[in-house]
Amino acid sequence: MTADRNRNPRRLAEALQAIPGVRTVTERNGALWVDAPLLQVEAMAAAMADLGIRLGTVTAIPHAGDAESTVIYHYIDEHRVINVKTCTRNGALASLAPTVRAASWAEREIRDLFAVEFPGHPNPVPLIRPDGIDTATLRAAMCRPAEVARKPVSPLASPSANNPARS
C-alpha cells in the first residue's frame, strides 16, 4: 500500500513541498507537519493518492473571532503521520469525498459540529446531527476558552437550566 519512496523522508518532504499552497514542511513530535494556509485541497488529495498515502481523518478547530476554522488533514503512510494544516475560506473548503472515500464521514461530521461547508460532497446529509438540529452543534461551546469546568455540568447547558441539587 505504501510506496517505497515514502521511506525516504527527504523525498517525501520534497513531494509535500511541491503541493500547491504548501508553505513549510517540518518534523516534530514524531510526525510531519505541513503548514499550508492557502492549500489547494484537491491537489493535495491527488498528490497523496500518487504517493499511496491514505487519509486517516480530518480535524477541525473552530476560530473564536470569525466563522473560519483550522482544518488538519491527517494522512498516514503506515510509518508516520503527515498532518497538513490549512484554514477554511468563507467557512468552506472543497470536499475530498468525490475522490477520497475516507473523507466522506469526516467531512459530514465536521459540518454537523462546526458548520464548515465542503462544497462538492456527494452526500452532504447529517452524520451525527438529528433531523431538525442546525449545524454547528459544538462550535460556540468549543470556541470558548479551554478551562476546567469546576461543576460537573454539561458545557452545553444554559445558565438558567442549572440544577439546584448540584449547586
Partner 1 sequence: MPYSFPLGPYHPALEEPFKVKVQCRGEVIDSATVEVGFSFRGIELLAQKRNWVEVITLIERVCGICSNTHAMTFCMAAETIAGIEVPKRAAHIRTIIAELERLHSHLLWAGVGAEDIGFHSLFMEVFTLRELVMDTLEAISGNRVNYGMNCIGGVHRDIPDPKRHLPALDTLSKGLAEIVIPTFTENPTALTRTRGVGRLTREQAVEWAVVGPVARASGLDIDVRKDQPYLSYADLGFESVVRPEGDVLARVVVRALEMVESIRLIREALLSLPAGPLRATQGVPEIPSGEATIRTEAPRGEAFYYVASEGGATPARVKIRTPSFVNIPAIEAMVVGQPLADLSIIQASVDPCISCTDR
Chain residues binding partner 1 by CB under 8 A are 1, 29-31, 54-57, 59, 61, 72, 74, 76, 78-81, 83, 101-102, 104-106, 112, 126-130, 137-138, 141-142, 146-149, 154-156
Residue 144 neighbours by CB under 8 Å, 6+ apart: 64, 155
Residue 135 neighbours by CB under 8 Å, 6+ apart: 111, 112, 113, 114, 115, 129
User: Max Cα separation, the chain?
Assistant: 62
At closest approach, how far in Å is the CB of 130 from partner 1? 7
Q: Which is nearer to partner 1, 20 or 52 (by Cβ)? A: 52
At closest approach, how far in Å is the CB of 94 from partner 1? 19
At closest approach, how far in Å is the CB of 20 from partner 1? 24
Helix, strand, coil percentages for the chain (3-state, nearest 5) = 30, 20, 50
Say how far apart CA 12 and CA 2 lie, in whole Å. 12
Q: Which residue has the cell 503548514?
A: 35
Q: Per DSSP, what are the bridge partners of residue 61?
A: 70
Q: Which is nearer to partner 1, 20 or 102 (by Cβ)? A: 102
Q: Which is nearer to partner 1, 20 or 61 (by Cβ)? A: 61
At closest approach, how far in Å is the CB of 141 from partner 1? 6
At closest approach, how far in Å is the CB of 138 from partner 1? 5
Q: Which is nearer to partner 1, 130 or 164 (by Cβ)? A: 130
